[in-house]
């Protein structure tokens, strides 16, 4: 049965695209999974009911080791700046490393899988992780003078040195801000300036599609770009991808660039005590895209974040200490922070870090890795699943691995793709969780609990324990379950994983996430401050949530969050460009990709060369992941009478769908002209 869901907002883009809902049937977890699952007690939802809020979250906090136990679960006196586990002290590195030594000293904490298949896999025990983290922490503190509360920017690829660096920062209370390695040096600098961090930690190179990337080159770009902004990057600390060998052709700049592997020789076997941090101390910043051009630094806490990471990794990912867990995401995004590093390591599991592209050198690679390491929990994105399904639909069958559990995250997954994941990748033996959450939320918000709820392809599931979800229409009326209408998905209550603020911009924090449905401006009652997620969603009769996508100007490209405004600003760095507008178009593999429309300043003529130059500007300002599908140089943008560019009309042109009524535009005649251009 195909049903059409009404969408209320005229400006929505993503939600409009994904409005055809087909009800899928349930799939049930195999008894073998249930028999060993961490959570099969349905009472958890009673324990985490709103009557028991916020005390219920003690259950998550108690998964951690506190050097000083907390006194107050939740302080709302400065709403919506929530303070969790007030009075408590702990160290995140201690919780992820030291405390496991007694039982698991000799167990693999990290399996690092290089992209080049002939390079051996590195199995790093908890003891070794402990040593490496301590040495680096000592170096950062003693040589770089870093201290509690300082910010450090990381621009590191998917290597074991990345979690080592994050944990070393956490050990001394330094706030890390890892920027996705695929971002350009220029994008790195914007984030360094915003966070006030003048030390950059990077790596000389890393492998992607079999090619050793000159990653140090990006650090040089960053330093040059910093100068243009009168900002000085004081130190560039460089890990060697091949220890003992410098893999970049770029020269080292005396007094600025230091090879970490050389420097660490002075810190051999140095251990330093973990600094006990207040539960409220920031653990890291994670920059993400929003509606305005400037990326925002989401600030996550130590106690609340780590408790939520551990609690959800245990409940949703079903991680036990004996599991081999592989999340094939990038640590440069929140998924990697929570579910490659902090969640699994807090639980004492073995976490796999794969350097490269899932389909390198062929679509059988992930399944060979799974077989080789005995991976039993697998976690990835719909984009990766779609790519593997297209390039090697029968590959999983050829490999002798067995997953008990699989996760999907980051984008909606089409039921057809879900079924391939279930039947072919999971061999019908593994449960699937479709987890909906965001950079801001620290951990999963909606998902089935695999030992409790049946799965439904294409649908995330109910709210997690303690996450009380509500869908509001534009006027703040609740849309009841089963109403078959989409609305804005919100969370009624705070939870420990929620980010604390936007670094340096608390006003924007309140405005973007809480002002929308705030009931009383000065209220200190959390009930007055629903969290506004910026996603459209529908709740079906059974209480499951189906996420339709962003209602703001964020485009989700292959699960990477990009701001339309960021891409538009990049296009505007090209002299000839007067106006730019970006819209998402559907893509078979990546879900969505950006289409870029530009209008030129008077006196300039369109040309293929100019299109290419604009596209190149987007890549160098942001990243190859932001590369537009096409640059359309147009004579004019469709505009409202007040001069606002109608992105909705452009989106319809790009996707070849109906533009609807355009008669109210200031220049309706342009629509036919653009349509002709796009579909000659």
> From CA 216, how far away is CA 218, in angstroms rounded?
5
333 binds ligand WTA (CB under 6 A): yes
Tell me, what DSSP letter sits at residue 232?
-
**Element of type H or E holding 203:** strand 199-203
CB of 596 to ligand WTA, least distance (A): 21
CB of 176 to ligand WTA, least distance (A): 18
> From CA 304, how far away is CA 279, in angstroms rounded?
7
Q: Which of residues 268-297 bind ligand WTA (CB under 6 A)?
A: 288
Comparing CB distances to ligand WTA, the nearer of 238 and 310 is 310
Comparing CB distances to ligand WTA, the nearer of 54 and 382 is 382
CB of 314 to ligand WTA, least distance (A): 18
437 binds ligand WTA (CB under 6 A): yes
Q: Which of residues 33-52 bind ligand WTA (CB under 6 A)?
A: none
CB of 15 to ligand WTA, least distance (A): 10
The two beta strands, 83-86 and 2-4, are unpaired
CB of 547 to ligand WTA, least distance (A): 4
Tokens of 404: 């008990």
190 binds ligand WTA (CB under 6 A): no
CB of 538 to ligand WTA, least distance (A): 12
Comparing CB distances to ligand WTA, the nearer of 216 and 379 is 379
Comparing CB distances to ligand WTA, the nearer of 360 and 544 is 544
Return the C-alpha torsion angle 605, 608, 609, 613, nearest 10: 100
Comparing CB distances to ligand WTA, the nearer of 309 and 614 is 309
**Element of type H or E holding 12:** none
Are 380 and 408 in contact by the 8 Å Cβ rule? The answer is yes
Comparing CB distances to ligand WTA, the nearer of 365 and 550 is 550
CB of 332 to ligand WTA, least distance (A): 10
Q: Which range touches ligand WTA (CB under 6 A), out of 180-188, 259-267, 437-445, 472-480?
A: 437-445
Burial degree of 679 (CB within 10 A; 0-12, 13-18, 19+):
exposed
Is the preceding peptide bond at 549 cis, omega within 30 degrees of 0? no
434 binds ligand WTA (CB under 6 A): yes
CB of 450 to ligand WTA, least distance (A): 15
CB of 435 to ligand WTA, least distance (A): 5
177 binds ligand WTA (CB under 6 A): no
Number of residues that bind ligand WTA (CB under 6 A): 21
What is each CA distance from 65 to 93, 108, 347, 362, in whole angstroms? Answer: 11, 21, 11, 43
Q: Which of residues 443-502 bind ligand WTA (CB under 6 A)?
A: 460
- Of how many residues is the chain composed? 680
> From CA 197, how far away is CA 195, in angstroms rounded?
6
Q: Which range touches ligand WTA (CB under 6 A), out of 429-437, 510-518, 633-641, 642-650?
A: 429-437
Comparing CB distances to ligand WTA, the nearer of 132 and 550 is 550
CA proximity to 155, closest of 274, 263, 287: 287
Q: Which range touches ligand WTA (CB under 6 A), out of 3-11, 329-337, 353-361, 650-658?
A: 329-337
- Binding ligand WTA (rule: CB under 6 A), the pick from 190, 323, 411, 621 is 411
CB of 550 to ligand WTA, least distance (A): 5
CB of 561 to ligand WTA, least distance (A): 4
The phi, psi pair for 655, rounded to 5°, reads -95, 5
CA proximity to 431, closest of 400, 457, 394: 457
Comparing CB distances to ligand WTA, the nearer of 132 and 191 is 191
Backbone CA torsion sign across 636, 639, 642, 643: negative
Are 417 and 410 in contact by the 8 Å Cβ rule? The answer is no
Q: Which range touches ligand WTA (CB under 6 A), out of 38-46, 65-73, 233-241, 403-411?
A: 403-411
- Binding ligand WTA (rule: CB under 6 A), the pick from 439, 488, 564, 569 is 439
- Binding ligand WTA (rule: CB under 6 A), the pick from 12, 61, 409, 577 is 409
> From CA 509, how far away is CA 500, in angstroms rounded?
9
Tokens of 663: 């008669």
SS (H, E, C) 445-491: CECCCCCCCCECCCCCECECCCCCEEEECCCCCECCCCCCECEEEEE
Comparing CB distances to ligand WTA, the nearer of 335 and 488 is 335
Tokens of 208: 């992607």
Comparing CB distances to ligand WTA, the nearer of 191 and 561 is 561
Burial degree of 483 (CB within 10 A; 0-12, 13-18, 19+):
middle
76 binds ligand WTA (CB under 6 A): no
* Angle (deg, nearest 10), helices 608-621 and 564-571: 130
Are 90 and 277 in contact by the 8 Å Cβ rule? The answer is yes
CA proximity to 651, closest of 570, 595, 569: 595
Comparing CB distances to ligand WTA, the nearer of 130 and 544 is 544
* Angle (deg, nearest 10), helices 215-228 and 185-195: 50
Q: Which residue has the tokens 């699989």?
A: 406
SS (H, E, C) 611-651: HHHHHHHHHHHCCHHHCCCCEEEECCCCECCCCCECHHHHH
Binding mask 549-588 for ligand WTA (x = CB under 6 A): xx-----x----x---------------------------
Comparing CB distances to ligand WTA, the nearer of 174 and 409 is 409
> From CA 409, how far away is CA 591, in angstroms rounded?
13
- Closest-by-Cβ residue to ligand WTA is 439
Comparing CB distances to ligand WTA, the nearer of 240 and 459 is 459
335 binds ligand WTA (CB under 6 A): yes
**Element of type H or E holding 225:** helix 215-228
> From CA 177, how far away is CA 504, in angstroms rounded?
14
- Binding ligand WTA (rule: CB under 6 A), the pick from 535, 553, 568, 621 is 535
CB of 319 to ligand WTA, least distance (A): 17
Comparing CB distances to ligand WTA, the nearer of 515 and 572 is 515
Tell me, what DSSP letter sits at residue 425?
I
Comparing CB distances to ligand WTA, the nearer of 133 and 377 is 377
- Binding ligand WTA (rule: CB under 6 A), the pick from 114, 282, 366, 412 is 412
> From CA 639, how far away is CA 634, in angstroms rounded?
13
CB of 269 to ligand WTA, least distance (A): 38
CB of 409 to ligand WTA, least distance (A): 5
> From CA 285, how far away is CA 531, in angstroms rounded?
19
Comparing CB distances to ligand WTA, the nearer of 392 and 591 is 591
Q: Which range touches ligand WTA (CB under 6 A), out of 89-97, 311-319, 431-439, 567-575?
A: 431-439
Residues at the contact surface with ligand WTA, assessed by CB under 6 A: 288, 333-335, 409-412, 434-439, 460, 535, 547, 549-550, 556, 561
């Amino acid at each position: 049965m195909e049903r059409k869901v009404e969408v209320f907002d005229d400006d929505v883009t993503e939600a409009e695209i994904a409005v055809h809902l087909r009800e899928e049937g349930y799939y049930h977890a195999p008894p073998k999974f249930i028999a060993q699952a961490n959570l099969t007690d349905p009472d958890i939802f009673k324990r985490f009911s709103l009557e028991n809020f916020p005390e219920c979250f003690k259950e998550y906090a108690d998964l951690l080791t506190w050097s000083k136990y907390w006194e107050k679960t939740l302080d709302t006196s400065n709403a919506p700046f929530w303070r969790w586990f007030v009075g408590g002290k702990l160290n995140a590195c201690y919780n992820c490393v030291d405390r496991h030594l007694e039982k698991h000293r000799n167990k693999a904490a990290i399996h690092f899988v290089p992209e080049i298949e002939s390079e051996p896999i590195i199995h790093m025990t908890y003891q070794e992780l402990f040593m490496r983290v301590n040495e680096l922490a000592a170096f950062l503190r003693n040589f770089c003078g870093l201290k509690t509360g300082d910010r450090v920017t990381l621009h590191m690829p998917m290597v074991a040195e990345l979690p080592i660096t994050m944990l070393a920062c956490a050990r001394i209370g330094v706030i890390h801000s890892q920027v996705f390695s695929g971002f350009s040096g220029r994008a790195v600098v914007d984030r360094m300036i915003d966070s006030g961090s003048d030390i950059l930690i990077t790596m000389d190179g890393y492998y992607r599609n079999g090619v050793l990337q000159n990653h140090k080159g990006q650090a040089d770009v960053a330093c040059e770009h910093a100068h243009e902004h009168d900002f000085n990057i004081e130190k560039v600390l460089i890990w060697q991808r091949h220890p003992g060998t410098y893999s970049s052709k770029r020269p080292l700049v005396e007094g600025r660039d230091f090879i970490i592997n050389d420097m660490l020789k002075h810190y051999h076997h140095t251990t330093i005590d973990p600094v006990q941090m207040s539960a409220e101390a920031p653990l890291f910043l994670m920059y993400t895209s929003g509606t305005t051009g400037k990326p925002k630094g989401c600030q996550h806490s130590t106690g609340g974040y780590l408790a939520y990471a551990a609690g959800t990794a245990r409940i949703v990912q079903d991680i036990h200490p004996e599991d081999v867990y592989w999340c094939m995401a990038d640590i440069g995004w929140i998924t990697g922070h929570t579910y490659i590093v902090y969640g699994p390591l807090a639980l004492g599991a073995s976490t796999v870090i794969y350097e490269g592209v899932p389909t390198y050198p062929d679509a059988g690679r992930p399944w060979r890795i799974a077989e080789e390491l005995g991976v039993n929990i697998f976690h990835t994105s719909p984009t990766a699943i779609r790519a593997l399904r297209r390039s090697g639909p029968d590959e999983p069958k050829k490999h002798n691995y067995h997953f008990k559990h699989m996760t999907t995250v980051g984008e909606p997954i089409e039921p057809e793709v879900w079924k391939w994941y279930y039947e072919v990748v999971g061999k019908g033996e593994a449960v699937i969780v479709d987890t909906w959450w965001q950079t801001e939320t620290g951990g999963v918000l909606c998902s089935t609990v695999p030992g409790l709820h049946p799965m439904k392809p294409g649908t995330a599931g109910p709210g997690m324990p303690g996450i009380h979800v509500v869908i509001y229409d534009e006027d703040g009326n609740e849309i009841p379950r089963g109403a078959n209408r989409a609305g804005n998905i919100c969370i009624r209550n705070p939870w420990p994983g929620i980010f604390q603020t936007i670094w340096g911009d608390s006003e924007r924090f309140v405005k973007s996430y809480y002002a929308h449905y705030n009931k009383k401006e000065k209220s200190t009652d959390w009930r007055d401050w629903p969290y506004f997620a910026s996603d459209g969603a529908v709740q079906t009769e059974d209480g499951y949530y189906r996420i339709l996508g962003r209602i703001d100007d964020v485009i989700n490209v292959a699960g990477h969050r990009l701001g339309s405004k960021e891409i538009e600003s990049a296009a505007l760095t090209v002299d000839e460009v007067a106006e730019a507008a970006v819209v998402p178009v559907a893509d078979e593999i990546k879900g969505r990709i950006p289409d870029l429309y530009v209008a030129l300043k008077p006196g300039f003529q369109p040309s293929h060369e100019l299109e290419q130059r604009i596209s190149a500007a987007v890549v160098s300002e942001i990243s190859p992941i932001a590369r537009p599908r096409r640059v359309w140089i147009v004579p004019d943008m469709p505009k409202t009478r007040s001069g606002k560019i109608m992105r909705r009309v452009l989106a319809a042109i790009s996707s070849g769908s109906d533009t609807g009524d355009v008669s109210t535009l200031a220049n309706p005649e342009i629509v036919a002209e653009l349509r002709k251009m796009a579909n000659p």
